[in-house]
Amino acid sequence: MRNPFRPTFGIVPTIVAGRSSVVAQVSLALDEGPGSPFRFTLISGPRGTGKTVLLNLLEKEAQARGWTPLRVTASATMLDKLTGTDLPKLLTALHHGDKRPRITGGSIAGIGSLNVEHTTAYPYQESLHSLLRETVLALEAQGGGLFLSLDELQSASPDNLHILTDAIQDVVRDELPIALTVAGLPFEIAELLAHPGTTFLRRAVPIELGALDAAEVSRTLADTAERGGKYFETAALREATDAAAGYPYLVQLIGSVGWSLSEGTEISAQDIERGLPLVKERMGMQVHTPALRELPPRELEYLHIMAQNPGPTPTGSVAERMGIPTNQQSTYRRRLIERGIITPAGYGYVDFAIPYLGEYLRERGE
């Protein structure tokens, strides 16, 4: 039997938990017509909350509604790729490779002659604005629209995003069928919206991905295991649900490890307990280490102070231990919240937004 769990970033799980309402809203927006707010969405959340998975689901839904998905590669060359490759290829496919004749010269005695060279109908040097408009018009003529998606927001420059959103806004003003969904960490979305050239995106619908509720986690674990021919005993399902802490990546990881360690068709509580050290080790490698890699020293210090508490930490005690005024502490607090690493936990308290991060920091004692 093949393991049905998929603890891999960006891969759509066998059963996706807690995203059906967002998919339904975007699907409705594509059918509603220009002006529907869910045609433009900003997906944010900490690492491992399923941003890329949701993007993939929305692309599939758009395709099912007759729209054409196009992934915008977040990089320094994203605009060149759009105008030089992606949009021309799409236009050529839409027009079945139509060629445009071009006179190059030649003669016939007494009459004259013309040599004719056939070139592609959409030369690559056209501007982003013109190519985008032509593409959307061609798709509209076929009863569809263009669904743009942008992941890994940190790799895109604000200036390029300004140019892209300006071109999109130009298409929107003419009530043409275009949609855009962008995914990034909370601070990346905040920085994007703060840029003076991306004011158009401030009207997009924010979608903040947080923890799944326990019932959804249990249902996903049980239903996914059943797809692979196994089932959780009652105590095992309860323990796996608690250990996942509502974190989408952990749902897949705990389920995968428990499924692999189990013998026969039953996943036991002992299988879950035996697998937890492996689960935490993978979380450290794939989530915790990348999340902390680029943090400034003072923000790391803030986290290490938090890690010394078993639960939510008073922000006042953090400021005291850092030897700084309370208002200066709030700056570090805000930055860490925007990065999706910590979360408010009641008035004057913060807690880790990523499960097992405190334990990870305590073990390293850095």
For residue 276, what is the domain's CATH number? 1.10.8
| Residues ≥6 apart with Cβ < 8 Å to 71 | 59, 148, 149, 150, 151
117 lies in some domain: no
**pLDDT classification of 156: cutoffs 50, 70, 90:** confident
pTM of the entire predicted model: 0.85
pLDDT tens by residue, 125-149: 578 999 999 999 999 999 999 999 9
Q: Find, among 49, 39, 129, the residue nearest to 83 by Cα.
A: 129
| Residues ≥6 apart with Cβ < 8 Å to 102 | 116, 117, 118, 119
Of 208, 238, 272, which residue constitutes the final position of a domain? 208
Determine the Cα–Cα distance for residues 255 and 262; give it in Å rounded to an integer.
11
> What total of structural domains would you count in the chain?
3
**Contact in structure between 78 and 164 (CB atoms under 8 Å):** yes
Same domain, 40 and 82: yes
Q: Residues 24-39: what's their mean pLDDT?
A: 93
Determine the Cα–Cα distance for residues 150 and 72; give it in Å rounded to an integer.
5
Q: In which domain, by residue range, is 237 found?
A: 214-291
Determine the Cα–Cα distance for residues 241 and 229; give it in Å rounded to an integer.
19
**Contact in structure between 288 and 356 (CB atoms under 8 Å):** yes
Question: Euclidean distance between the first and final Cα of the chain, in Å?
Answer: 42
Output the domain CATH number for residue 308: 1.10.10.10
Look at residue 119 in the predicted model and tell me its pLDDT. Answer: 56
Look at residue 33 in the predicted model and tell me its pLDDT. Answer: 86
- Which is more confidently placed, 305 or 200? 305
- Please give the structure tokens belonging to residue 75: 């990089």
Look at residue 237 in the predicted model and tell me its pLDDT. Answer: 98
